[in-house]
Structure 1
Amino acid sequence: MFLDKKIAVVIPAHNEEKLIGKVISTMPDFVDHIVVVDDYSSDGTAAAVRNLAESNQKVVLIAHEQNRGVGAATATGYKWARDHKIDVTAVMNADFQMDPADLPRIVKPVCTGECDYTKGNRLFRGESWGMIPKHRYIGNSVLSLLTKIASGYWHVADSQSGYTAICLAALKAIDLDAIYPYYGVPNDMLIRLNIASFRVRDVSVKPVYNVGEVSGIKLRKVVFTIPWMLLKGFTRRMLEKYVIRDFHPLIFFYGLGIIFFFFTIILTVRAFIYLGIDGHLPPINTLAAMFSFMSSSIFTLFAMWFDMEYNKDLK
């Protein structure tokens, strides 16, 4: 236990035979349950966990009968924790890219009731730029910006970090069967938490690389799927939070921003068509495109500001 709270750590695992033992053996003593969810591994991951479970009663193995994705594996672990009434449930990867020494700081704000959900942030530290592969750092930064807009948690960053902790009340409030089943699960969780008005906090954690991990993220698969998931999540959040549950005029600002954005595209294309035909830009069309772009930007920025103000207490 930690601060009189029962603690479970969910470890989604897929083909992590080499490192899963290290993750379990270095788990802090205060952890009450280590829930490993084997997502239909083709190597000896499940066998390795079973061997460890014989000498460590904290270890619980749940095996999927088919590969369902890291998000689905996380949801399975969450369901176990919810059903067993675990006070605080953390999530750690099975590839040892999350330092166990950071776990007390991850779970403490949730245990003390300061917030409902914490997530590790590797970007707080100055050494992150030198340790994290550059393409992943840049991609993470872009997705973090998009996630701020989609989730409404403007104060959090490093959206792709899966090193998290969540309280039992939040687990009970969220539809765990609807969680995004793949690598966008941290982003999806933030959107769902914001809809339910739970408090979220970033915690600085150490980035860990070059320990033998093999990334399962394929850029060509996530470059479109995660942004699309964020767009759908953003739309759902706008409807549920600002129309159904509590109407807010920022809906009009976002709506007008989108309308003027499409007008900007149409007018810009039309202007360049005339440029190709007549050799010059039509002045009225060009002015209209500029006015439409400025209007779109102003309405969108005001909508973001309203959203930021509305959610400023969810820290």
Structure 2
Amino acid sequence: MKTLVMIPCYNEEENIERVVGRLARVCPDVDYLIINDCSTDHSREICDKNGFSYISLPVNLGIGGGVQSGYLYAVENGYDITVQMDGDGQHDPAYLKALIAPVEAGELDMSIGSRFITKDGFQSSALRRLGINIISVLIHMLTGKKVRDTTSGFRACGRALTEFYAYNYAQDFPEPEAIVAAVCGGYRVGEVPVVMEERMGGVSSIRSFKSAYYMIKVCLSLVVYRMTCGKRIRRKS
């Protein structure tokens, strides 16, 4: 199937060449699109120098707006499967085929790459794992769906969910909220085991001293999102 790998990029000058290079070596038959979210470093210059496929947003939209731009691009260009893969090098394209498989087979609408099934590779800090577990429990309470790796940005979607996200994507805490939106919209969500790596370079958008605050905010946001998701969701007119 025609597949697009979306790579959100904000100040990833230390990583983006290696990320695209590894993707091209391992999965040369897929298309990719770097979504440069108004980076203030040399990310755009690196994309130009290497002839990378990218779009550059005129203003910084954050991870939610950036990824939604990718979904819109996928819809407009007729892609069957979209894959979100972070630009920091944590996601190994060697698992791309396994991630896509249940979507390609029609078993899932969204397949999430989870580091917590086999518990191999980089597992994040203890504080972040605690927060992810709490978010997992909350999502299960709100939707009845059990998802272990709720903040994983390594995920594949089929055509129907791609179009849904192109017009209904969460902005504040997109990874967990996107799960709630998909389940509430009647889409099938599941996980496949992957092994993740530590960030190659640069700085994460979620700093360690903010993790507890982030967890509280995302939990409140999920509750509000679940209560209002029927009003938020809209189809393409």
Give secondary structure in 1 for the equivalent of 2:47. helix
Aligned to 1:43: 41
Of structures 1 and 2, the one with the larger relative CO (CA 8 A, separation 6+) is 2
Q: Distance in 1 between matches of 2:100 and 2:30?
A: 13
Pairwise CA distance, 1:191: 1.6
Q: What amino acid does structure 2 have at the position aligned with 1:185? A: P
Are 1:66 and 2:59 counterparts?
Answer: yes
Match of 2:93 among 93, 100, 105: 100
After TM superposition, the score normalised by the length of structure 2 is: 0.88
Alpha-carbon distance in 2 for matches of 1:167, 1:158: 19
When residues 142 and 31 of structure 1 are mapped into structure 2, their CA distance, relative to the original with a 3 A threshold, is: farther
1:162 paired residue number: 153
Gaps of 5+ in 1: 54-58, 241-315
Q: Distance in 2 between matches of 1:197 and 1:35?
A: 28
Aligned with residue 133 of structure 2, among 136, 141, 160: 141
| Distance in 1 separating the partners of 2:120 and 2:107 | 28
Distance 1:42 1:151, change over 3 A: farther
- 2:15 pairs with 1:26: no
Secondary structure in structure 2 of the residue aligned to 1:120: strand
Instruction: Tell which structure's C-alpha radius of gyration is larger.
Output: 1
TM-score of the superposed pair, with normalisation by structure 1: 0.67
| Contact map agreement 1:86 1:168 (CA 8 A) in 2 | yes
* CA RMSD between the two structures: 1.9
Offset, 1:126? 3.3
The SS at the match of 2:49 is helix
Partner of residue 234, structure 2: none
Name the SS for the 1:26 alignment partner: helix
Aligned position for 2:116? 123
From 195, 198, 201, the counterpart of 1:209:
198
- AA aligned opposite 2:166: L
> 1:207-256, CA deviations, whole angstroms, 9 ceiling, x for partnerless residues?
2115325211142652333112201122135x67xxxxxxxxxxxxxxxx
Shift in Å at residue 177 of structure 1? Answer: 4.2
- Residues of 2 paired with 1:165 and 1:89: CA distance? 6
Question: How far apart, in 2, do the equivalents of 1:8 and 1:121 lie?
Answer: 20
Identical-residue share of aligned pairs (%): 24
CA deviation after TM superposition for structure 1 residue 188, in Å: 1.5
Of 69, 73, 77, the residue aligned with 1:76 is 69
Q: Structure 1 residues 171, 147: CA separation in 2 closer, same or farther (over 3 Å shift)?
A: same
Cα pair distance change 1:103/1:119, threshold 3 Å? same
Other structure's SS at 1:89 match: strand
Query: In 2, distance between residues paired with 1:210 and 1:168?
Result: 30
Cα distance in structure 2, aligned partners of 1:131 and 1:153: 22
Q: How many residues are treated as equivalent by the alignment? A: 226
How many angstroms does 1:124 deviate by? 1.1
Q: After the TM superposition, which parts of structure 1 deviate over 4 Å for at least 4 consecutive aligned residues? A: none
Change (3 A) 1:109 1:175: closer
* AA aligned opposite 2:33: V
How far 1:80 sits from its partner (Å)? 0.3
Gaps (5+ residues) in structure 2? 232-237
- Provide Cα deviations, 1:108-155, integer angstroms capped at 9, x if missing partner: 111111211100111112346x7421111111111121122234323x
Alignment of 1:174-193 (within 5 A): 174=164, 176-182=166-172, 184-193=173-182
1:74-126 per-residue CA deviation (whole Å, 9 max, x = no partner) reads 10011101111101000000000111111111111111112111001111123
Name the one with the larger helix percent.
1
- In the alignment, the residues of structure 2 paired with residue 167 and residue 213 of structure 1 have an alpha-carbon distance, to the nearest angstrom, of 31
